[in-house]
Chains A and B, each alone.
Chain A
Amino acid sequence: ETGVTQSPTHLIKTRGQQVTLRCSSQSGHNTVSWYQQALGQGPQFIFQYYREEENGRGNFPPRFSGLQFPNYSSELNVNALELDDSALYLCASSLGGLAGNEQYFGPGTRLTVT
C-alpha cells in the first residue's frame, strides 16, 4: 500500500509569484484535503476535493485554488503569494467525501515566501 506523497519537499518563492504543490493520495483513497500549518500552530483546513469536485472550503481567500485528477492526485495553487503564506502545506487523503473520518497525511511541502 502506497502512502501519501507530496512534492516538492521545499520551495522558495518571491512575494507576488504563483506556486503549485502536488499530492498523490494513498492507494484506494478518493478524497484529498489540504491544510496549512504555520509555525507553532496546528494545521488549518484549506479545502477538500472528492471525485474531482471541491467538496468544502475553510477560511482561505480565492487565490488558494485546487484540482483533483481522475487518479485522485491533487494540486494546490496559490496566486499572488504573500509573506504570510510561508508555512508547511499538508495534503491528507481519506476514503469517501462524507464518511472519511481518518485522514492520512503526507510529509508536507515547506513553502518560504521572501
Chain B
Amino acid sequence: DQQVKQNSPSLSVQEGRISILNCDYTNSMFDYFLWYKKYPAEGPTFLISISSIKDKNEDGRFTVFLNKSAKHLSLHIVPSQPGDSAVYFCAASDFSSGSARQLTFGSGTQLTVLP
C-alpha cells in the first residue's frame, strides 16, 4: 500500500522551461511535505518543504504547491537548468511510528533537463 505516489518515473524538459513534478498521497495524517533531489552515488539532498497549513512555499527557482483536498503536491522549477537533472523524491512526514517523525517517500521521478 503506497501512501505516497509519484506516477511519472521520468520527465524531460528543455533548459529554461518549467519543470513540474507531481506527487499524490493517501494518508490524511501527513502534516509536512518535503522534496529531495538525488544524484547518483549521493544521498538525497533536501530541497524545499511545506507545512499542511500552507498551500505554497517558494525558494528561489523552486516552488512547492499543496492541494490538501486533492491530496496532491507539486514541485515547480523555473527556469530549469541542466544541473537540475536528478531523481526527485517527494516525502511526507507524520508521527505514525511511535514518537518518531518518519518520512514516507515516493518512488521518485527522474528529471532530465536538455540543453
Q: Using a CB–CB distance below 8 Å, which chain A residues touch chain B?
A: 4, 6, 33, 35, 40-45, 47-48, 50, 55-58, 90, 92, 94, 97-108
Q: Which residues of B contact A43 (CB under 8 A)?
A: 44, 89, 103, 105
Asked whether B49 lies within 8 Å of A101 as measured between CB atoms, the reply is: yes
14 A–B contact pairs at CB < 8 A?
A: A6-B43, A41-B107, A41-B108, A42-B89, A42-B108, A43-B89, A50-B99, A56-B101, A56-B102, A58-B102, A97-B101, A101-B93, A101-B101, A102-B46
In the complex, residue of chain B having the shortest beta-carbon distance to the beta carbon of A46: B102
Asked whether B46 lies within 8 Å of A56 as measured between CB atoms, the reply is: no
Asked whether A90 lies within 8 Å of B43 as measured between CB atoms, the reply is: yes
Within the complex, the shortest CB–CB distance from B67 to chain A, in Å, comes to 20
- Contacts A42-B4, A108-B43; A56 near B108 (Cβ below 8 A): no
Within the complex, the shortest CB–CB distance from A43 to chain B, in Å, comes to 5
Question: Which of the four size classes fits the interface of chain B?
Answer: 20 to 34
Tell which of B34, B100, B104 touches A56, judged by Cβ atoms closer than 8 Å: B100
B98: Cβ under 8 A from any A Cβ: yes
Tell which of B93, B98, B104 touches A57, judged by Cβ atoms closer than 8 Å: B98
Asked whether B105 lies within 8 Å of A33 as measured between CB atoms, the reply is: no
3 tightest A-B CB contacts, nearest first: A56-B100, A42-B105, A105-B43
Asked whether A104 lies within 8 Å of B46 as measured between CB atoms, the reply is: yes
B97: Cβ under 8 A from any A Cβ: yes
C-alpha gap A21/B55 in the complex (Å): 39
Within the complex, the shortest CB–CB distance from B30 to chain A, in Å, comes to 12
Chain B, residues 64-107, CB within 8 Å of chain A (1/0): the string is 00000000000000000000000001010101011111111111
In the complex, residue of chain A having the shortest beta-carbon distance to the beta carbon of B46: A102
Q: Which residues of A contact B49 (CB under 8 A)?
A: 101-102
Within the complex, the shortest CB–CB distance from A11 to chain B, in Å, comes to 15
Within the complex, the shortest CB–CB distance from A90 to chain B, in Å, comes to 6
